Amino acid sequence: MSIDTPIESNPNSESADAIPKVAPLQIGSHTLNSRLILGSGKYDSFETMRDSIDASGCDCVTLAVRREKLNDSSARNILDFLDHDRLTLLPNTAGCYDAVTAVRCARMGRAILEGLDNPGQNWVKLEVLGNSRTLLPDPFELLKATELLVKDGFEVLCYSNDDPVVARRLKDAGAASVMPAGSPIGSGLGISNMNNQRIILGELKREDPDYPVILDAGVGTASDAAIAMQLGFDAVLLNSAVAHAEKPIKMSSAMRLAVVAGKLAFEAGRMGKSTYGSASSPELGVISSRNTPDS
């Protein structure tokens, strides 16, 4: 190795204090500058949600579709706390347990965003659950709903099991992105099957390296998000890890940095692992001569 021939230049040499930039992410027709997608649920207050979104630096926020409370004009509307002129909203189908209901829910989300003139009106985070305790997806209904929504013109981001075959089927059905769960929604367990995630990334990106694959659900703290990005995920979608942190706004800042750190680490290419040590300081010129054997 020659130390006189650098193989990379420093892209941030002029702004040492700024957060390094990573390339924007393309999902279907949408371009996101942040690799973090934040959920808007579970916050103690709309104010904390708003400030957490600001701290995250994200430009995409998920929302759920629910029945209006009737005769309750005093209720504050979440949209008054979301800068929906700047943010791309991503409606979800959370709480749906069959394809038909999920499709109805997606269409309702689209109709609301059309009324708001928000660019998120053509996409949906598709969630079709199979079990109310684990909140894990029902892959059969999920695939059916994906096919129906793709046919209806939606860009479908599929919240999926961490199963490589299911992920492949969803991509083949036309999903704009497959979003495997790291672990159950709201569990904070991080990535429970790292090898399945590696296989999913490998299979979905084989001959299609720009196909967006997003880790959705399970992230508990910033290192989980960084690990996901290091594995090669294109983005991380999370909610509880920020909303249920002791200090959500600070955790949101941590997540912002973690996805950038993980993405850079992935691009940088990690060093090889070794069972044995390899000294960082030269052995040549050590001042003492050693006379004890290795124990």
Distance CA 242, CA 57 (A): 13
Which of 42, 125, 205, 273 does the annotation list as catalytic? 125
Question: Does 189 interact with another protein (rule: CB under 8 A)?
Answer: no
Choose the binding region for another protein from 15-23, 28-36, 58-66, 224-232 (rule: CB under 8 A): 58-66
Of 79, 150, 199, 264, the residue at the interface with another protein (CB under 8 A) is: 79
Question: Does 158 interact with another protein (rule: CB under 8 A)?
Answer: no
**Pick 77 or 291: Cβ nearer another protein:** 77
Tokens 């020659």 sit on residue:
2
Cβ–Cβ under 8 Å, residues 227 and 191 = yes
Choose the binding region for another protein from 37-45, 166-174, 187-195, 258-266 (rule: CB under 8 A): 37-45
Rounded to the nearest angstrom, the gap between the alpha carbon of residue 75 and the centroid of all alpha carbons in its chain is: 30
Question: Does 2 interact with another protein (rule: CB under 8 A)?
Answer: no
Distance CA 22, CA 27 (A): 15
Half-sphere exposure of 187 (CA within 13 A, CB side): 17
The nearest distance, CB 203 to another protein, in angstroms, is 26
Of 128, 129, 237, 258, the residue at the interface with another protein (CB under 8 A) is: 237
Hey, how many other C-beta atoms are within 10 angstroms of the C-beta on 144?
A: 18
| DSSP assignment string, 73-111 | TTSPPGGGGS-TTTSEEEEB-TT--SHHHHHHHHHHHHH
**Pick 178 or 219: Cβ nearer another protein:** 219
Of 19, 31, 42, 151, the residue at the interface with another protein (CB under 8 A) is: 42
Is 263 annotated in the active site?
Answer: no
Hey, how many other C-beta atoms are within 10 angstroms of the C-beta on 35?
A: 26
Token duo for residue 292: 């004890």
Question: Does 257 interact with another protein (rule: CB under 8 A)?
Answer: no
Rounded to the nearest angstrom, the gap between the alpha carbon of residue 118 and the centroid of all alpha carbons in its chain is: 21
Footprint on residues 201-230 left by another protein (CB under 8 A): 217
Binding site for another protein (CB under 8 A): 39-43, 49, 62-68, 70-73, 77-79, 89, 91-92, 94, 104, 107-112, 114-117, 185-186, 217, 237-240
List, by residue number, the catalytic residues: 125
